[in-house]
Structure 1
Amino acid sequence: MLASIPAFLRIPLACLLLAANVVLHVTPLFVLTFFKIVIPVRPIRQAITHGLVAIAESWIAVNSWLFDTFTRIRWQVEGLDSIENHDNFLVVCNHQSWVDIPVLQKLFNRRVPFFRFFLKSKLIWVPLLGPAWWALDFPFMKRYSRQTLEAKPELRGKDREATRRACEKFRSIPVSIMNFTEGTRFTPAKHDAQKSPYRHLLRPKAGGVAFVVDAMGDAMRSLLDVTIVYPQGAGSLMDLIAGRVREIRVHVRQLPILAELRGDYDDDAVFRERFQAWVNDLWAQKDARIGRMLAE
Structure 2
Amino acid sequence: MLSIFTQKVAGAIAFLCYLFNTIFWLIPILILSFLKTLLPFSATQKALSQLLDGCASNWILVNGLTQKLIGNPDIQVNGIEELSLNKWYMVISNHQTWVDILVLQRVLNGKIPFLKFFLKKELIFVPFLGLAWWALDFPFMKRYSKQFLAKNPHMRGKDIETTKKACAKFKHKPVSVMNFVEGTRFTQHKHTQQASTFNHLLKPKAGGIAFALDAMNGQLDTLVNVTIYYPQGIPTFWQFISGQVQQIQVQVTTHDISSDYIGDYLNDKAFQAEFQQWINALWVNKDQALAQLKQASLND
- TM-score bin, normalised by smaller chain: 0.7 to 0.9
Segments of 5+ residues of structure 1 without an aligned counterpart are none
2:288 is matched by which residue type in structure 1? Answer: A
Question: 1:199 aligned to 2:199?
Answer: yes
Residues 92 and 226, structure 1, Cα contact 8 Å, conserved in 2: yes
Q: Secondary structure at the match of 1:219?
A: coil
Alignment partner, residue 263 of structure 1: 263
Structure-2 residue corresponding to 1:43: 43
Deviates more, 1:184-193 or 1:148-157: 148-157
* Distance in structure 2 (CA, Å) of the matches to 1:84 and 1:25: 25
Match of 1:188 in 2: 188
**Equivalent position of 2:222 in the other structure:** 222
Q: Secondary structure at the match of 1:21?
A: helix
Amino acid at match of 1:72: N
Identity across the alignment (%): 43
- After superposition, what is the alpha-carbon deviation per residue over 1:213-261, rounded to whole angstroms, capped at 9, x for unaligned? 1221232211101111112222222221111222211000111011211
Q: What's the secondary structure of 2:76's corresponding residue?
A: strand
- Structure 1 residue 134 displacement after superposition: 3.6
- Using the TM superposition, give the Cα deviation of residue 139 of structure 1 relative to its aligned residue in structure 2, in angstroms: 3.8
Structure 1 counterpart SS, 2:197? coil
- Kindly report which structure 2 residues correspond to 1:50-129, keeping only aligned pairs within 5 A, or say none: 50-83=50-83, 86-119=86-119, 129=129
CA distance in 2, matches of 1:155, 1:224: 33
Query: Unmatched 5+ residue regions in structure 2?
Result: none
Which range moved further: 79-88 or 274-283?
A: 79-88
**1:272 corresponds to which residue?**
272
* Contact 1:94–1:227 (CA under 8 A) maintained in structure 2: yes
Shift of residue 150 of structure 1?
10
Amino acid at match of 2:186: F
The residue that corresponds to 1:173 in the other structure is 173
Evaluate the alpha carbon distance shift between residue 145 and residue 272 of structure 1 in structure 2; reply closer, same or farther with a 3 A threshold.
closer
**Which amino acid counterpart does residue 219 of structure 2 have in structure 1?**
A
Contact preservation (8 Å) 1:168, 1:215: no
Change (3 A) 1:23 1:197: same
Q: Secondary structure at the match of 1:233?
A: coil
In 1, Cα distance between equivalents of 2:159 and 2:231: 35
Assess, with a 3 A threshold, how the Cα gap between structure 1 residues 5 and 131 changes in structure 2: closer, same or farther: farther
Look up the equivalent residue of 1:168 and give its one-letter code.
Answer: A
Is the 2:142–2:163 contact (alpha carbons within 8 Å) kept by the matching residues of 1?
Answer: no
The amino acid of 2:222's aligned partner reads S
* TM-score normalised over the length of structure 1: 0.87
Q: Which amino acid aligns with 1:229?
A: Y
- Matched position secondary structure for 2:251: strand
| Cα distance in 2, alignment partners of residues 27 and 132 from structure 1 | 10
Match of 1:282 in 2: 282
Q: How far did 1:200 drift? A: 0.6
Distance 1:254 1:123 in 2: 30
1:34 offset after TM fit, Å? 1.2
Cα distance between partner residues in 1 of 2:127 and 2:240: 21
AA partner of residue 71 (structure 1): G
For residues 160 and 14 of structure 1, what CA distance do their matches in structure 2 show?
A: 41
* Partner Cα distance (1:131, 1:176) in 2: 20
Structure-2-length-normalised TM-score: 0.86
Q: Please provide the CA RMSD for this pair.
A: 3.1
How far 1:204 sits from its partner (Å)? 0.7
For residue 245 of structure 1, what is the aligned residue in structure 2? 245
Residue 47 of structure 1 deviates from its aligned partner by 0.8
Give 3-state SS (helix, strand or coil) of 2:266's partner. Answer: coil
Q: Is the 8 Å Cα contact of residues 161 and 215 (structure 2) preserved in structure 1?
A: no
Deviation larger for 87-96 or 217-226: 217-226
- Which range moved further: 267-276 or 3-12? 3-12
Q: Is the 8 A contact 1:74 1:246 kept in 2?
A: yes
* Alignment-mate amino acid for residue 42 of structure 2: R
2:201 is paired with a residue whose SS is coil
